[in-house]
Structure formats: structure tokens, C-alpha cells
Amino acid sequence: MSGTTALLRNEPVQARSTARLTSLLDAAAAAIDDVGYERLTTAMVADRAGASIGTVYRYFPDRIAVLQSVASRAVDRFSERLATKFAGQPHADWWSAIDSLIDDGVESFAHEPAFAALRFGDVLDLRPREDGRTGSSLVASQVAPILVSRYGLPDGDELAFQLEVLFSIVDSLLARAFAFSRSGDARYIAEARRVARSYLVSVWGEPA
């Protein structure tokens, strides 16, 4: 929960406080799934968590901080899966590796609470962004060195840019796939893979 706690008014230092924070984030994520992030209120979070509004404000200064924290937790969880599954699992070529990332994206859209609404938090209109980085760019920064070391892709800013373009393409199509169904529209998921592969082949060449 490292990225999440960086956004908090008070960082939990005891197990009880950590459990309370988890309860608030779970309540917020469930509410976002039900009503959308635009309509989320701190009172709604308190009510669903069975907590007082004061407890919510103990950790979060406002609803934007709640939304950022839910999105940050999604990035943390995706990064944890990336570290254990993607980084630890051999793939035949770079496309097999990217395809497995798309699988993880589909899994997050289908099963991570609030992910379909917030994704990596990039949909939130925050001006200015505190560190100038998007959630997608943080994930790209983890993926890039693995692709460089395993598949010989050239390191540098261009690779990071291409990965952000890739994630933007896949994110948009998966968002459409899950817009009306929690199980996802298979046609859009398949198209996300096809378009992603076509784009990457255009800049990286055929996988080898």
C-alpha cells in the first residue's frame, strides 16, 4: 500500500489503523462500482464502511484524495502481480510477454473493484499532477527494463513512450469491453490484442 499511503493525511502505523484504512478503501471502491467515481462522496464512504465521517477525514482531506488512493492501490496491486508473475515467468518473445500483460489488464478490469472506472487513475482530471507522471507511465517504467534485458529492445525514452502509447490503446479498448459487462465483450478484448500487436510490430518489428 506504499503508493496509497503517500496520499494520506495520516499514515496508519498500527494493524488496527491499517485495517480501518483498508475498510475505507474497500467501501470507496464498492461505491465507485455502484454509482461511478463522479458521484462518490466522503459520506458515502463512511456509510458503507460503517465508520464516522470524522474517521474518513482522519485519513483523507477530501473525496479527490479518496479517489487517488483507490487508484493508487490498483497500481500497487497491478505492480505486485507484475513483479511476481510477469517478471518471474519466461516468455518466448516480447509479444508473448505483452500478451500476458493484456491478460493481467483483463483480469483487473473484471475483478479489481473500481478498476473499470478508475483504471490507473489516469482518468481523474487533476491539474496539475503533483509529480507529472501517470499511472500508466509508472507501470511502463517497470515493464521497460524487463523487455530490454530479455528481448534486446533498445532502452531509452522512446521505449517508454511506445509503452505508454500501447497502454493507452489497450486501456481504451478494454474500457469499452467492460463498459456494459463485468465479464467483458470478447470482441473488444480481441481487438485490443490485434491493435496492440499491430502497433508494436510497426515500431519494434516482428517478435523473434
Model pLDDT for residues 32-63, shown as the tens digit of each residue:
999 999 999 999 999 999 999 999 999 999 99
Model pLDDT for residues 152-184, shown as the tens digit of each residue:
999 989 999 999 999 999 999 999 999 998 899
Model pLDDT for residues 51-96, shown as the tens digit of each residue:
999 999 999 999 999 998 998 898 888 888 888 877 778 899 999 9
Q: Which of 1, 133, 6 has the alpha carbon at shortest distance from 79?
A: 1
Statement: residue 119 has pLDDT above 80: yes
Domain region containing 13: 2-204
* DSSP per-residue codes, 75-87: HHHHHHHIIIIIT
3 state DSSP class of 64: helix
How many domains does the chain contain in total? 1
What pLDDT does 89 receive?
81
CATH number of domain containing 45: 1.10.357.10
Q: Determine the Cα angle at 174 with ends 172 and 177, to 5°.
A: 115
Cα distances from 207 to residues 43, 147, 164, 165, 191, in angstroms, run 51, 12, 19, 18, 19
Statement: residue 3 has pLDDT above 60: no
Residue 134, all three cell numbers:
501517470
